[in-house]
Every structure is written in structure tokens, then in C-alpha cells.
Amino acid sequence: MAEELRLTLPDGSDKAVPAGTTARAVAESIGARLARAAIAAKLDGEIVELDRPLAHSGRFEILTEAAPDALAVLRHSSAHALATAVRRLFPDAGIGFGPSIDDGFYYDFAVPRPFTPEDLERIEAEMRKVVEGDHAFVREEVTREDARRRFAGDPLKLERLEEIPDGDVISVYRSGVFEDLCRGPHVPGTGRIKHFKLLHAAGAYWRGDERRQMLQRIYGTAWFSKQDLETYLHRLEEAKKRDHRVIGKALDLFSIQDDAGPGLIFWHPKGAMVQYQLRRFIEDTLLERGNQLVYTPHITREQLFLRSGHLPMYAEVQFPAIASGEGEGEDVRYRVKPMNCPMHILVYAAQQRSYRDLPLRLTEVANVYRNERSGTLHGMLRVRGLTMDDGHIFLRPDQIEDEIFELLDIVELVMGKTFGLDYRLDLATRPDKKLGEDAMWEQAEQALEQALKRRGATYRLDVGGGAFYGPKIDIKFTDAIGREWQGATIQLDFQLPERFQLEYTGPDNKPHRPVMIHRAIYGTMERFIGFLIEHFAGAFPLWLAPEQ
């Protein structure tokens, strides 16, 4: 007798099915309408194809077009349809990666020359033929040796294959004559991909590494309805008109100079006045609420970032070490700071603190430096020199909730009342790469969630999205044409006070460990002003406009 699986449906009811039953069969047993609308299924949080046999019991749901996760499945499958079309037209094209991304998908190809606009038109037309063929996506688990034979002519795929750990399942997906080394999941067939558009092509280094070969990346978008596609394409046209790089140049706000290097912003007088007004507003707002200004060095000994955990946790975006000053010894090296938290910790630790001193709120509009990959730099939105409205609050555990409430009030004042922005809250939990023990993370996550619940706030969970030292509340706001941006962040940290052995004297006259809150309201001046340029299309509010 076949093993029986118990599936818990979204309404809380249980359904018993034999092991090996497909998600499609479960959908059909629930109702014909659901089976026709099904895109994929989800079993214990993992999305699986409709024709994949179910291997274990768990929470189960059928994904239709209305499900939040369904678009990512559609777009992943669209990337495969794109690769199929490219291979038909360019048989020798090497195949890289083809994931879904926010609002669309891309696929990387190794070809002898860049794709032209005319190439994209031909590829899109061929892609429509792939869709009309309604080729089923067929999953097959293969051995490593079999995969090597299948992808012998694709060195990029062979490289990816060798990174799959021994013992992990190696799966291949085939649609028509095209097959790809892929984990899935996919829609049932290419016929589900109806409303799509190829957008543009650009160069992209293999694996994002400037030392590797340059590939050609084709970007596209796909939606379940024609109206959604047209709305998105209209938004793209609006975004082009609002491009902060174009408007910033026309208004003489800023520039990026080749002589200085990419990702470094030169604030011209008018742009500097915008930054000055924003800086004055946020500093006055924070000073009125008990914050204290500090200023800290731009560089510090490397040992400070080792102690804080930023090395190696944050090493990939730190600039290389600088040799020590004269007379300090060859073993001493310096780093330009990528963030301010270790500096503010040293200010706290410079003297004995009492429970009466807490919360101690330190704030600094500071320049920090991050060695972002050149291919990711984008005007003011992704830079290497950042101006952060950074702050760190040292407090007792019993003060966490009140302080979170106060910070959310400041977010509402700035984002809601001052700029009239709609925004939402995300509660981001522990990432895989983190400092400290799970018990301490559990305590921090519960403190943030409890504060949000007591405030009556609506929020979404961002599982694994926390900083390496603590969970956080991220504020995501929407601009005038419906795009979502990362805004303020409020991060609760039990780890760094422990690593730096911070103390305050309690009412019992004994030493106690404080906790820290890292917070930024604007985030960075560069990104926030870039956003404001695009949001207002250059027509700033009267109080912010550098020229009336």
C-alpha cells in the first residue's frame, strides 16, 4: 500500500493523498476551475511544478495568477523561452543564467558581438513562436556525469554544475528542444507566457566579476494580463522622463567626473543647497527629540572592523587596507569606513555610563565609502561615496519599545507628513550569514515584532533579510509613478554591545549590557535626493528648491 501524505490546505482542512500524487491531481480533486487556473503549487513554502510528484506531507496551496509568488514563476519560465529563441537564431550562443527579477527577467549569453535593437526585435518575434508552440516544461533529475555530457558545449553551465555540492539533486528542465541546468520551478508550458516584452540588452560580466568574460544580458518583462504589461511599459516611459541623471544635469545639481572615478558624486552649488536643506531639517528634527551630534574620523585602524565583525562579514564592499602611519609598525593597517557604528560605539565607551544616561542617542550625517562593483553603479542611486544620516541609540532593554515608537513617529513626520509618501513596513529576520547565537536573535526579533504589534502597525515578514548583527524594520515607500524604494531602516542589535563589552551601571550599582539601535531616516543623501528628483520630476517643494 502506498504511503499516505497529509496536506494542510489554506482553509486549515487536511487532505490525504497517496505519496507521488502530483500537485495537478490535487488541484483537479479540489475543483476543475482551480485546476484550469493553476500555475504551480507550494508545499511547505517551496514552489513546485504542477506535474512534480509530491514527496512529503505539509502545508499545501495551489498558486494561481493572483498569488504573489506566481509572477516570479512566470518570469523564470519567460527567461527559458527567451533562451530558446536566442538559441534558434544564434545556435552557437553560450548560455549563462536566466533568473526572474523584480518586474521581469533576464538571461546572459556568450556571443561574439553585442545584441542590436534589430536583434531584439527578431528574438522577440521568435520568442512568440516559442510561446505559440506551448511546449511543456519537463523536469528531469540527472547524474553529474549525464549533466556533463548534456552541457559539454556550454562551459558556463559546466562551471555552474561543478558548484553543486555532492549529494544535491541535479535537475534539468526541457521545453521543446531547449534544455537547461535549472532548479525550477516553471509554469506548465510556454503557452502560459502571453504578455511579455523584451526591453534592452547590456553587457554583464560573468558572475558579476570584472575579471571574467563579458556576456550580453537581455532584459525583459512578463505579466499575466495585457493591462498590467501596458501599465508597466507606461511606467518605464515615465521613468525615462524623470531620470535623475538627465534632470540633475539639466538643473546643474551634480556630476560624476571621470577624472575622479565612478560612483563619486560632485555636488554643484544648487545640488549642495538641496542637501543642506535636507541635512538641516533632519538634524533639527533629531536634536529636538534628544539626539546629540557627533563627528567621527573617515578612517580607522582595521582592527576596529575586525572586532565589530564587519571584516569578514562586510569585506566584499570595503576598500583595501591602507598602510599604517609612520612609526606605528608594519602590522598596523587602516580602512576607510563603510559605516559609522564602530565609531559611535567608541564614543559611548569613552566614559562610564549610568542607567540614567540612557537612552544615549548619537547622530551624524557622515561620509562613508563602499567599494561597490562598477557594474552596479547607477547615478546617485548606487554610489561608492555615501552621505548617511546615521544614528546609533544605546539603551536599556526595557526602553526598546518606546524608542521604536519614537523612531516610527519620525519616519511618519519625514516620509508621510513632510513628503506625502505612502510607505509600508517590513520586519526583516536573521540571515544565514550572521553574528551571535540564535537565542539572542530570537530575543531581538520578538522585541521588534512586539513593538510593531503594540503600535497596531501593519507589516510584512522579510525572512532572512536582516543585517548580520540584528533584525530590522525596513521602510519601503512608493514614488509618483508607483515604483517602490528602500527608505528608512531601524535595526535592533544585541551583538555589537556584546562584542565591544559595553556596559552601564544599573540602579543596583552593578554593570549591565546595553542594546543598540542603528537607524537612518533618509538612508543616504545621494539615493534619497536621486529619488526626490525622479519623484518630483525636478519640481522640488518650495522649501527645498535651490532656485525659485
CA distance 422 to 473: 16
Q: Is the pLDDT of residue 495 over 80?
A: yes
Averaged over 527-539, what is the pLDDT?
A: 94
90 burial class (0-12, 13-18, 19+ CB within 10 angstroms)? middle
pLDDT score, position 392 = 97
**pLDDT greater at residue 5 or residue 497:** 497
H or E segment and range at residue 455: helix 438-455
Q: Is the pLDDT of residue 512 over 90?
A: yes
Cα–Cα distances in angstroms (integers) from residue 466 to residues 17, 429, 430, in the given order: 38, 5, 5
Q: Is the pLDDT of residue 324 over 80?
A: no
CA distance 369 to 351: 28
pLDDT score, position 2 = 58
Torsion (CA) 393, 396, 397, 399 in degrees, nearest 10: -70
Per-residue pLDDT tens over the stretch 241-258: 999 999 999 999 999 999
CA distance 509 to 356: 12
Averaged over 297-312, what is the pLDDT?
A: 89
Cα–Cα distances in angstroms (integers) from residue 535 to residues 159, 228, 244, in the given order: 42, 21, 9
Helices vs strands, H then E, count in the chain: 16, 28
CA distance 130 to 182: 19
CB 447 within 8 A of CB 400: yes
**pLDDT greater at residue 313 or residue 171:** 171
Cell of 329: 609598525
**Beta-strand relationship, 333-336 and 322-323:** antiparallel
340 burial class (0-12, 13-18, 19+ CB within 10 angstroms)? buried
Helices 525-535 and 269-288 pack at an angle, to 10 degrees, of 110
Name the band, by pLDDT with cuts 50, 70 and 90, for residue 376: confident
What are the φ/ψ torsions at residue 517 (nearest 5 degrees)?
Answer: -120, 125
Per-residue pLDDT tens over the stretch 269-291: 999 999 999 999 999 999 999 99
Per-residue pLDDT tens over the stretch 198-227: 999 998 888 877 778 899 999 999 999 999
- Compute the half-sphere exposure of residue 474: CA atoms within 13 Å on the CB side of its CA: 18
Please count the other Cβ atoms lying within 10 Å of the Cβ belonging to residue 542: 7
Cell of 275: 542637501
pLDDT score, position 318 = 87
pLDDT score, position 111 = 94
CB 161 within 8 A of CB 132: no
Percent of the chain residues past pLDDT 70, beyond the cut: 99
CA distance 149 to 140: 15
What are the φ/ψ torsions at residue 417 (nearest 5 degrees)?
Answer: -80, -40
Averaged over 433-460, what is the pLDDT?
A: 89
CA distance 268 to 66: 47
- Compute the half-sphere exposure of residue 89: CA atoms within 13 Å on the CB side of its CA: 20
Cell of 272: 549642495
pLDDT score, position 3 = 81
Cα–Cα distances in angstroms (integers) from residue 1 to residues 4, 6, 19, 47, 504, in the given order: 9, 15, 10, 28, 66
**Strand, helix or coil at 528?**
helix
Name the band, by pLDDT with cuts 50, 70 and 90, for residue 325: low
Name the band, by pLDDT with cuts 50, 70 and 90, for residue 375: confident
CA distance 502 to 496: 8
pTM: 0.79
Per-residue pLDDT tens over the stretch 157-198: 898 898 888 889 999 999 988 899 998 899 999 999 999 999
pLDDT score, position 1 = 47
CA distance 69 to 77: 13
CB 458 within 8 A of CB 491: no
Query: Which of 80-94, 123-137, 423-437 is least confident?
Result: 423-437
Q: What is the mean pLDDT of the chain?
A: 91
Name the band, by pLDDT with cuts 50, 70 and 90, for residue 548: low
What are the φ/ψ torsions at residue 135 (nearest 5 degrees)?
Answer: -75, 130
Per-residue pLDDT tens over the stretch 451-484: 999 988 899 988 888 888 889 999 999 988 888 8
Please count the other Cβ atoms lying within 10 Å of the Cβ belonging to residue 120: 19
